[in-house]
Structure formats: structure tokens, C-alpha cells
Structure 1
Amino acid sequence: MEFKTIIIEQQPMFVIDDAVTEKEVHDFYNLVSGLSFTRTERDNHGDAHCIFNAEFIPEKVETSLRIGIVARQLLQKFCAKREYILQRSYINMSHYGDMAYPHRDCSLNGKDMTVLYYVNKDWDYRWGGETIFYENHESQNIVMPKPGRFLIFPGFIEHKGAVPTRECVSSRFTFAFKYREKE
């Protein structure tokens, strides 16, 4: 397993590669490719453009889905000082021509953590689809959607999942795990 730390808004974010095997990446992608998606997810409450997504039951994700088990293990490893409860889990799907907006996954003073898993089994950097992080409305860092990559960051950091370029003929999938700090 390889990881790097990125600092945004004086907070550490973790980019983790090789936490799952190539076979697990391919098997999970094949599972996700067969799911039904609905246009119900919004970046912001007033957003007129919904995103395709598929919801998962949080309790089952952490016990019966390998990617969910690994997400929890990584959160515990990299954020060991706090205890978290998985509040929500879902996969977003985007295509060239979709809309995405900067947003936060919790309030500015929230202590929630987000774990993203990049689901695609193949990705070319020319296809775009980066996760862009902002500080004071300026882009500060990007993370490419490398197959099998996990990304852990505080939910209050403003970000957006960029849509793929028109060169990309496949869907861009990200599995979002939203954790709330246990009280």
C-alpha cells in the first residue's frame, strides 16, 4: 500500500493506492457496471442538475462489501484519534456533458470525514474527472481518479468531482462513504 498526504485548509488528506488488489478493482467495477442508477444526487440543495447515483445500506457496506470494509480500515488507520459512524454510502456516476459544482459534505465546523473510492478499472488522465479541492474559492489541489484509489478528507473542505472530457467513452464512478464523528 502506498499513500501520500496533502494539506488543504491546514488539514491532512490522504491519497491511498494499492489497498485492494487489481482483481478486486476489476470485480467491483464489474459489479458496479451492472447497477441501476437514478438521477437523484445533488451537489448542493439548490442544484437544478441532479447526478446519477446508487445508494447502499451503510450497515451492510461495512460488513459484506470488500470495498466498504477496506474504507473503514483505512479511516481507522489514518484517523485513529476519533471514532466515526458510517452515515451514508453511495456511488456517483458521471459522463461528459454532466454538471458538477463545488460543495462541502458537511458544515464548515463539522468533523465529518469522507472516504472516496475510485471505482473505474481503467482511467486515462486525458479523460479528466479529477476531484478538485478548493481553499478560499481557489483550486488548491487535484486528485486523479486512478483505479482502486482511496481518498480520505475532512467533509468541510470544498471540492467537486469534475466530469469526464468528451474523449472518455465510459462512465466515471466514485463510491462515497460519509462518516460522522461518534458522540
Structure 2
Amino acid sequence: MTGELDASGSTHLLDGRIIKIFDNAIDNDQIERIYNALSIASFAFNHSSTDETVDFREWSAELSPIDFVTIDLGRLSMKCATDHAKCLCTCTSVFSSASSYGDNAFVHQDSSHGSSRISVLYYANPHWELEWAGETIFFSGNDARIAISPKPGRIVVFSGDVRHRAGIPSRHCPGVRLVISARFKPNKLM
């Protein structure tokens, strides 16, 4: 870790919801360690974005929320969620997804509309080329409004009820797009 999170990050506003992007919060050694750990994780073809898309499975590896918050990335994710919610948060679920050219992705919400839950994405590839695509797309209604590139070490924080879709890598991408998704539930006001 670099030890400090740039509190400003970059901010996007979508339908009154804040989407915050933090770059350079994780040093290159930590980026490599996280990638190497995910490279040997037990991925299973059992995740679906929504109840309506269960016939279109995605590769994922479940991670323990209790263990996640004890590592640097987990603590940093919790700080991002807590700052976003303006109250203490509890990590309720964590998983990593792996997608490659030809996979499916669907527009979804991580929590119901009006929920106070927070989602944190961490892009886990140590290298990513622009031509490989894989941007996370955020929607206003049925209109794609914000695209966020899967830059190595990037963290994105947003309200779980914001509609979004994981980007699928292009045919030029030689590997998989790895993302860690952590979900947080606000506790009580600080």
C-alpha cells in the first residue's frame, strides 16, 4: 500500500449518486501480490448478475468478508465505503470475477433501489491495455453514461443501487479481466 488514500479521487455524479475513482492507492508490489493470489484462487462457473440471468453463468471466486477486512486492500475498501456512506460499514460479501472475450455480462444493481449499501470494485490485473476494453459501464435508465477503465490498482466506490455492467475484454486481450467486488452495509452514523 502507498499508505495514503487521495481523499479527493475523481468524482462522477450520475442521477444524484456519487461514483468515486481512486488511483495509485495501492503500490505495484501489492498489485502483483493480489493478482498472484487471485491467479491460484478456486474460481467456479456459478455466479450470475441477476436472478433473471441464472442461465448465463460467470466465473467467480468467493472470498471471506471476515478475512478480507484484515488485509490492506480490505481495510482500504472499508475506508472507501465508510467515507462514501459517511458512517461505519460492515463488509457483507466479497468475490472476484474473471471474464474473458466471449463471456456475457448483464446490467444489474448490487442492491435494491434506494438501498444504502455501498459497492467497492478493485481492478486486479497488474497490466491493462486500452485496446483490451473491459470498462465498467454505469447507466442512467437505459442509457450508458459513464465508462471506467480497468486500470491496474484502481478502486471504484458507488451506491449499490446504481445500475452498471462489467465490461467484457476484447478479442485482443490475451488473458482475463480480474475484479474484486466488495459489498458493504452501513451501520450507524459516525
Quickly name the TM-score band, shorter chain normalised: over 0.9
- State the match for 2:69 in structure 1: 62
Is 1:103 the counterpart of 2:108? The answer is yes
**Aligned equivalents of 1:109, 1:10: Cα separation in 2:** 12
Which structure 2 residues correspond to residues 103-142 of structure 1 after superposition, within 5 A? Answer: 103-142=108-147
**Aligned equivalents of 1:25, 1:116: Cα separation in 2:** 14
Q: 2:56 aligns with which of 46, 49, 66?
A: 49
**Aligned equivalents of 1:80, 1:56: Cα separation in 2:** 23
Q: 2:31 aligns with which of 25, 32, 39?
A: 25
Q: Deviations over 1:55-113 (max 9, x none)?
A: 111111101x221122112223x326222211100100001000000000011111110
Provide the secondary structure at the position in 1 that maps to 2:134: coil
Is 1:39 the counterpart of 2:45? The answer is yes
TM-score, normalised by the number of residues in structure 1? 0.95
Alpha-carbon RMSD:
1.2
**Aligned equivalents of 1:169, 1:180: Cα separation in 2:** 36
- State the match for 2:86 in structure 1: 81
**Aligned equivalents of 1:79, 1:121: Cα separation in 2:** 26
- State the match for 1:182 in structure 2: 187
Q: Is the 8 A contact 2:12 2:18 kept in 1?
A: yes
The share of aligned pairs that are identical, in percent, is: 26
**Aligned equivalents of 1:80, 1:106: Cα separation in 2:** 14
**Aligned equivalents of 1:69, 1:85: Cα separation in 2:** 11
Pairs aligned (count): 181
Q: 1:10 aligns with which of 13, 16, 24?
A: 16
- State the match for 2:164 in structure 1: 159
Q: Deviations over 1:14-52 (max 9, x none)?
A: 100011101110111111111120011111112111110
Paired residue type of 1:59: I
Shift, 1:159, TM fit: 0.1
Shift, 1:152, TM fit: 0.1
Gaps of 5+ in 1: none
Provide the secondary structure at the position in 2 that maps to 1:99: coil
